[in-house]
A and B are shown apart, each in its own frame.
Chain A
Amino acid sequence: MHFPEVLPLQSGASIRDYHLAYETYGTLNADRSNAVLVCHALNASHHVAGVYAGQDKSEGWWDNMIGPGKPVDTDRFFVIGVNNLGSCFGSTGPMHNHPDTGEVYGADFPVVTVEDWVNAQARLLDRLGITQLAAVLGGSLGGMQALSWTLQYPERMRHAVVVASAPNLTAENIAFNEVARRAIVTDPDFHGGHFYRHGVIPKRGLRIARMIGHITYLSDDVMNEKFGRQLREGIDLKYSTQDIEFQIESYLRYQGDKFSDYFDANTYLLITRALDYFDPARAHAGNLTRALARATAKFLLVSFTTDWRFSPQRSREIVKALLDNRRSVSYAEIDAPHGHDAFLLDDARYMGVMRSYFDSIAKELQA
């Protein structure tokens, strides 16, 4: 959907003539009360569920969670997936043209924040004629957007479902983002972010960024279980320093290669920056309780015990701030082995809690 009007951004800059890619699933009911907005994380899009006709492996990134008869049941809910500004899956991003100059944005794409994304999503809902959402749902960075929704548009939503998320990033988390960004920025093919003009892609940087990201999304245990010290071929060491010998090396390189084929380098920088900046307590001298006083939604928070990038402790901070404000909140801490990635995987306890929570939202719709 095209938006000709100016969207003011948190930085003081603005963007106009932009496009938001979105998909919807299910049917909006007569009183327009059953809409659920799904917010995506770093490497995802508006394509949250279902498959594209005739395309293999085109399942949406949260297809196990969202669809007919699934925990977020599209037979009952009208689900909306939106690709965020600055991303590289269809919405306006750094690979598109600046309307003033007609040149590719590249490094000149404005820095966008979680709050900016939420504002853009709200404008999309205006166009779709939805004044109040039944729920906003997101995991990781998507969870930050769901949380931000409760502060920016408390009257426009009834439930927030925040999975494997945090009220801000820790220093260690920002550090991982910075390593990834340095890998991209120091790639000779990056050209200060204007690589499109040179007809190249900083694939080396993107690969390394993805490799380090991938390590942090898994747990030590699951990585050991999956790869251990297995060698790729044979049982003998090659006594090389540059060959791929261990399975884990092969896996990370494969993931890095795959990622560098489709992901945009400037998008990586923008999205990790949005992660770094998100901190609703900042305007309240670090006091999350005061920051969340505006929220009126009912909350479900879910974390995973082996997630060290968005640890349960961070979710508990949000729970505590909501308790201090006497808000309705439930919190499930799922003892799953898969680290941060667990939020995208099937776990009976996780799926059960999500299904039950959305069932109760559906019951409210009928009441």
Chain B
Amino acid sequence: MTDKAAMQALARLVPPGSRVLDLGCGNGAMLDYLQRERGCSGYGVEIDDANVLACVQRGVDVIQLNLDEGLAMFDDNSFDVVLQIDTLQHLRNAETMLRETARVGRTGVVAFPNFAHWPNRLSILRGRMPVTRRLPYQWYDTPNIRVGTYKDFEVLATKNSLRILDSFGLQDGQEVRWLPNARAGTAVFHFEHA
């Protein structure tokens, strides 16, 4: 989901001037954009060596950490916004990390591939795991170890007493607000802790 329109749609959830923590920040493009276009500050967290290098190259502050080890380094409410963009699906402790996201940030933004997007449903009906542009891996080599749906996340958020401020789907960089669970490849949730 490196697509510029999708990035801009997510960036709109981050108020200008925010202090941002981007969990699984990849090559730092999002933070770079938020710093340049929205006057934000903050840090990325990454595990991958090449991504850490890319962040340093573009002047984005990055902390090399394994998110599965938690966020002990970060204080409660120490960020205005904590982002988890295409990160949740890679985490062994996805629920713990969601709670940590809510603890560290005054608000959180989570975006992940929506497994209930209709092409995925169709593939499952045919008896095969989906291989799409959004989920390009075979079932046996996918790094996406957590597959969930837009609706699943609503349930998880409720279970963890998160107050959803906004939620929508993203498809081809466009917001999908009508039947997002079927019509969008990406689920987006903006929430705060109750």
Contacts and interface: CB of A to CB of B under 8 A. Distances in A.
Interface of A: 300, 316, 319-320, 323-324, 326, 328-335, 349, 352-353, 356-357, 359-360, 363
Contacts of B75: 323-324
Interface string B14-35: 0000010000000000000000
Contacts of A333: 64-65
A360 B56 contact: yes
A349 B61 CA distance: 17
B53 A356 contact: yes
A326 B56 contact: no
A319 B73 contact: yes
B74 A332 contact: no
A332 B56 contact: yes
B73 A349 contact: no
Given A330-B56, A353-B56, A356-B56, A335 B43 contact: no
Nearest to B55: A330
B43 A349 contact: no
Nearest to A348: B49
A323 B56 contact: no
Interface in B35-73: 43, 49, 52-53, 55-57, 59, 61-65, 73
B138 interface: no
A326 B19 contact: yes
B2 interface: no
Contacts of A352: 53
A323 B78 contact: yes
A349 B53 contact: yes
Given A316-B73, A323-B78, A330 B57 contact: no
B95 to A, nearest CB: 24
Interface of B: 19, 43, 49, 52-53, 55-57, 59, 61-65, 73-75, 78
A333 B63 CA distance: 9
A333 B158 CA distance: 36
Most buried by B among A320, A328, A330: A330
A331 B19 contact: no
Contacts of A332: 49, 52, 56, 62, 64
A329 to B, nearest CB: 6
B108 to A, nearest CB: 18
A356 B64 CA distance: 15
Contact of A330 (B49, B63, B78): B63
Closest 10 CB pairs of A and B: A356-B56, A356-B57, A333-B64, A320-B73, A331-B63, A349-B49, A352-B53, A360-B59, A330-B61, A332-B64
Contacts of B74: 323
Contacts of A300: 56
Contacts of A349: 49, 53
Nearest to B66: A333
A325 to B, nearest CB: 11
Contacts of A335: 49
A323 B52 contact: no
A363 B56 CA distance: 13
Given A332-B52, A349-B49, A319 B63 contact: yes
Contacts of A353: 52-53, 56
Nearest to B47: A333
Most buried by A among B53, B57, B63, B73: B63
Given A319-B73, A331-B62, A357 B56 contact: yes
A353 B60 CA distance: 12
B52 A329 contact: no
A333 to B, nearest CB: 5
Given A330-B55, A356-B56, 17 more contacts: A316-B73, A319-B63, A319-B73, A323-B75, A323-B78, A324-B75, A324-B78, A326-B19, A328-B61, A330-B52, A331-B65, A332-B56, A333-B64, A333-B65, A352-B53, A353-B56, A359-B57
A326 B63 CA distance: 13
Nearest to B21: A323
B64 A331 contact: yes
Nearest to A324: B75
B53 A329 contact: no
25 contacts: A320-B73, A323-B43, A323-B63, A323-B75, A323-B78, A324-B75, A326-B19, A328-B61, A329-B61, A330-B52, A330-B56, A330-B61, A331-B64, A331-B65, A332-B49, A332-B52, A332-B62, A333-B64, A334-B49, A335-B49, A353-B52, A356-B57, A359-B57, A360-B56, A360-B57
Contacts of B59: 360, 363
Contacts of A330: 52, 55-56, 61-63
